[in-house]
Structure 1
Amino acid sequence: MDSTDLYDAHDRERRVEEPPKRVEAPERTPFERDRARVVHAAASRRLAAKTQVHGPQMDDFVRNRLTHSLEVAQVARDLSRALGSQPDIAETAALAHDLGHPPFGHNGEHALHELAEPCGGFEGNAQTLRLLTRLEAKTVDASGASVGLNLTRATLDACTKYPWQRRPGTRKFGVYADDLPVFTWLRRGAPDGPRRCVEAQIMDLADDVAYSVHDVEDGVVAERVDLARLDRPRVWDAVRAWYVPEADDDAMDAALSALTEVESWPDAPYDGSRRSLAALKNLTSDLIGRFCGAVQEATFAAAGGPFVRYRADLVVPEETRIEMAVLKGIAAHYVMEADDRVALMGRQRELVAELVEALLAHAPTALERAFTDDWDAAPDDAARLRVVIDQVASLTDASAVAWHDRLVRSGSGSRGGWRA
Structure 2
Amino acid sequence: MTDPDTDRRLAPHACDARASRGRLYPEAESRTRTPFARDRDRIIHTTAFRRLKEKTQVFVAHEGDHYRTRLTHSLEVAQIARSLAGALKLDVDLAEAVALAHDLGHPPFGHAGEDELHLLMAEHGGFDHNVQTFRVVTELEARYPGFPGLNLTWETLEGVIKHNGPVAHRLDEPAWRAVADHGARWDLRLDTFASLEAQVAAISDDIAYNNHDVDDGVQAGLFTLADLERLPLIGAILSEVRRDWPKADERMVRLEAVRRMIGAMADDVLAETRARLSADGIGTVEDVRAASRPMVAFSAAMLEDLSAVRRFLFERMYRHYRVNRTRSQARRLLKDMFALFMADPTVLPPEWGEHAADPSVRARVVCDYIAGMTDRYAIEEHRNLFSLDLALDL
TM-score by length of 1: 0.79
The residue that corresponds to 1:346 in the other structure is: 328
The residue that corresponds to 2:23 in the other structure is: 14
Would the alpha carbon gap of residues 350 and 289 (structure 1) be closer, same or farther in structure 2, given more than 3 Å must change? same
CA shift for structure 1 position 92:
1.0
**Where does the alignment leave 5 or more consecutive residues of structure 1 unmatched?**
233-255
Q: Are the counterparts in 1 of residues 131 and 178 from structure 2 also a CA contact under 8 Å? A: no
The residue that corresponds to 1:75 in the other structure is: 80
Would the alpha carbon gap of residues 154 and 287 (structure 1) be closer, same or farther in structure 2, given more than 3 Å must change? same
The residue that corresponds to 1:238 in the other structure is: none
Give me the whole-angstrom Cα distance separating, in 2, the residues matched to 1:412 and 1:183. Answer: 47
State the secondary structure of the residue aligned to 1:262: helix
The residue that corresponds to 1:198 in the other structure is: 196
What do residues 331-363 of structure 1 show as CA deviations (whole Å, max 9, x unaligned)? 222222111221221111111011111112231
Letter of the aligned partner of 1:408 in structure 2? Answer: F
Give me the whole-angstrom Cα distance separating, in 1, the residues matched to 2:175 and 2:98. Answer: 16
Q: Are the counterparts in 2 of residues 97 and 159 from structure 1 also a CA contact under 8 Å? A: yes
Letter of the aligned partner of 1:375 in structure 2? Answer: A
The residue that corresponds to 1:326 in the other structure is: 308
The residue that corresponds to 2:262 in the other structure is: 288
Would the alpha carbon gap of residues 227 and 315 (structure 1) be closer, same or farther in structure 2, given more than 3 Å must change? same
Aligned length: 370
The residue that corresponds to 2:4 in the other structure is: none
Would the alpha carbon gap of residues 174 and 267 (structure 1) be closer, same or farther in structure 2, given more than 3 Å must change? farther
The residue that corresponds to 2:271 in the other structure is: 297
Q: Are the counterparts in 1 of residues 223 and 316 from structure 2 also a CA contact under 8 Å? A: yes
The residue that corresponds to 1:394 in the other structure is: 372
Moved more, 357-366 or 116-125: 357-366
Give me the whole-angstrom Cα distance separating, in 2, the residues matched to 1:185 and 1:412. Answer: 48
The residue that corresponds to 1:133 in the other structure is: 138
Give me the whole-angstrom Cα distance separating, in 1, the residues matched to 2:217 and 2:47. Answer: 29
The residue that corresponds to 1:261 in the other structure is: 236
Identity over the aligned pairs, expressed in percent?
32
State the secondary structure of the residue aligned to 1:57: helix
From 373, 381, 387, the counterpart of 1:403: 381
Q: Are the counterparts in 2 of residues 52 and 65 from structure 1 also a CA contact under 8 Å? A: yes
Whichever structure has more helix as a proportion of its residues is: 2
Give me the whole-angstrom Cα distance separating, in 1, the residues matched to 2:174 and 2:284. Answer: 23
Q: What pairs with 1:19-418 in structure 2 (closer than 5 Å)?
A: 19=28, 27-141=32-146, 147-160=148-161, 161-162=163-164, 163-164=166-167, 167=170, 176-184=176-184, 187-188=187-188, 190=189, 193=191, 195-229=193-227, 256-262=231-237, 275-304=249-278, 305=282, 308=285, 311=288, 313-367=295-349, 369=351, 371-372=352-353, 374-375=355-356, 381=360, 383-410=361-388
Would the alpha carbon gap of residues 368 and 315 (structure 1) be closer, same or farther in structure 2, given more than 3 Å must change? same
Q: Which runs of 4+ in 1 moved over 6 A?
A: none
Give me the whole-angstrom Cα distance separating, in 2, the residues matched to 1:309 and 1:45. Answer: 34
Letter of the aligned partner of 2:383 in structure 1? Answer: D
State the secondary structure of the residue aligned to 1:303: helix
Q: Are the counterparts in 1 of residues 144 and 150 from structure 2 also a CA contact under 8 Å? A: yes
Letter of the aligned partner of 1:208 in structure 2? Answer: D
What do residues 112-136 of structure 1 show as CA deviations (whole Å, max 9, x unaligned)? 0000112211111110001011001
Question: How big is the alpha-carbon RMSD for the aligned residues of Structure 1 and Structure 2?
Answer: 3.2
The residue that corresponds to 1:236 in the other structure is: none
Give me the whole-angstrom Cα distance separating, in 1, the residues matched to 2:151 and 2:92. Answer: 19
Would the alpha carbon gap of residues 2 and 136 (structure 1) be closer, same or farther in structure 2, given more than 3 Å must change? farther
Would the alpha carbon gap of residues 187 and 314 (structure 1) be closer, same or farther in structure 2, given more than 3 Å must change? farther
CA shift for structure 1 position 176:
2.4
Give me the whole-angstrom Cα distance separating, in 1, the residues matched to 2:205 and 2:102. Answer: 9
Letter of the aligned partner of 2:97 in structure 1? Answer: T
Letter of the aligned partner of 2:26 in structure 1? Answer: E
Would the alpha carbon gap of residues 326 and 368 (structure 1) be closer, same or farther in structure 2, given more than 3 Å must change? farther
CA shift for structure 1 position 279:
1.9
